Amino acid sequence: MSVFHTRITELLGIEHPIIGGTMMHLSREELTAAISEAGGLGILASANFQDQASFRQAIKNIRQKTDKPFAVNLNMFPARKRLENHLYIDVILDEGVGIVETSGHKAPEEYIERLKKEGVKLIHKCVGVRYAKKAESLGVDAVTVVGYENGGATGVLDITTLCLVPRVVDSVSIPVIAGGGVADGRGLMAMLALGAEGVIMGTRFLVAEECPLHPRVKEVLLSATELDTVLVMRSVGNTHRVWKNRAAEATAEMETRNASLQELFKFVSGEQAEKMYLQGELHAGLLACGQGIGLVRDIKPARDIILEILKEAWETRKRLKAL
């Protein structure tokens, strides 16, 4: 029985209103299954898979680890390498995955009819009121909004979570999942207070034990603060908030000189990111990371992260009641 029962827990069939944000390269089977098994919603990043067979196998692997609901993300951001989303959808429908999250620079118009016809629950993630309203008008079941503090794509509107969430809650009638800077139980309570019915967290799960990020990178992240992120790639229309390592600083500096995308690839490519994720080369590439990293102090299993957040949220509730 959920302590925090909302339309989101109801809609998605999960115990706690905690969603593990899709993380390119990192949201693979282990992390997705661990978050779902702990009663949240894990999201598998389809874009991690270069063919239908490996994507299908990943879904099967998750099912071996948990029988609880999980979702798949369809990525609509610009990318050099990945399959056509319709090919991922073939597998999603074939395997009976019940929840899909879409995210990117546009509304998921072209996929909605096919997914809805098969009864798939649809969540669209965006960064502004007008995008949320558009997604609602297209028939998605829930909308996720993330503020400027968030790790990863921030868009161009630069609205903080505190201002964005209540505006979106007031503008749509479908349930809202909120994030950008949420990394503990106080953040969960704050989002619920603003009218959201669930939270999304990426940065907090970067250092979950099941996150396949090299241990050396995780260790260094533990001492990072809210000052240690920077926005990059705005000059090429793909703004991302990332951890401020040497690659990020060099990228930001190159952008002030209007470097081309080709030049930026020296640091921003998936190949560079993999050197960091897999081999622990701290300055090889970019790692999406939100300002909430300042609240992250320990590496532990996803289950313990979720339990800690629930405990802290509960204590926060008691503290507020006593005011």
Ligand X SMILES: Cc1cc2nc3c(=O)[nH]c(=O)nc-3n(C[C@H](O)[C@H](O)[C@H](O)COP(=O)(O)O)c2cc1C
Kindly list the residues in this chain that would bind ligand X in the complex (CB under 6 A): 21-24, 26, 45, 73, 75, 103, 125, 146, 149-152, 179-182, 200-203, 206, 287-290, 292
Q: In angstroms, what is the minimal distance from the CB of 12 to ligand X?
A: 16
The edge-to-edge listing of strands for the beta sheet with 240-243 is 152-153, 240-243, 229-232
Sign of CA dihedral 91, 93, 95, 101: positive
Query: CB-wise, 42 or 152, nearer to ligand X?
Result: 152
Are 42 and 76 spatial neighbours (Cβ–Cβ below 8 Å)? no
Query: CB-wise, 246 or 319, nearer to ligand X?
Result: 246
Query: CB-wise, 62 or 287, nearer to ligand X?
Result: 287
Q: In angstroms, what is the minimal distance from the CB of 258 to ligand X?
A: 26
Query: CB-wise, 150 or 316, nearer to ligand X?
Result: 150
In this structure, what token pair is assigned to residue 266?
Answer: 């020296």
Residue with the CB atom nearest ligand X in the bound state: 202
Distance CA 69, CA 43 (A): 10
Element (H, E) at 65: helix 52-65
Query: CB-wise, 199 or 264, nearer to ligand X?
Result: 199
What DSSP string describes 178-246? Answer: EESS--SHHHHHHHHHTT-SEEEESGGGGGBTTS-S-HHHHHHHHT--TTSEEEE-GGGT--EEEE-SH
Q: In angstroms, what is the minimal distance from the CB of 114 to ligand X?
A: 20
- The amino acid at 35: I
Distance CA 267, CA 170 (A): 40
What DSSP string describes 232-264? Answer: E-GGGT--EEEE-SHHHHHHHHHHHTT--HHHH
For the chain, the distance separating the N- and C-terminal CA atoms, rounded to the nearest angstrom, is 27
Q: In angstroms, what is the minimal distance from the CB of 323 to ligand X?
A: 27
Q: In angstroms, what is the minimal distance from the CB of 77 to ligand X?
A: 7
Q: In angstroms, what is the minimal distance from the CB of 257 to ligand X?
A: 26
Query: CB-wise, 287 or 305, nearer to ligand X?
Result: 287
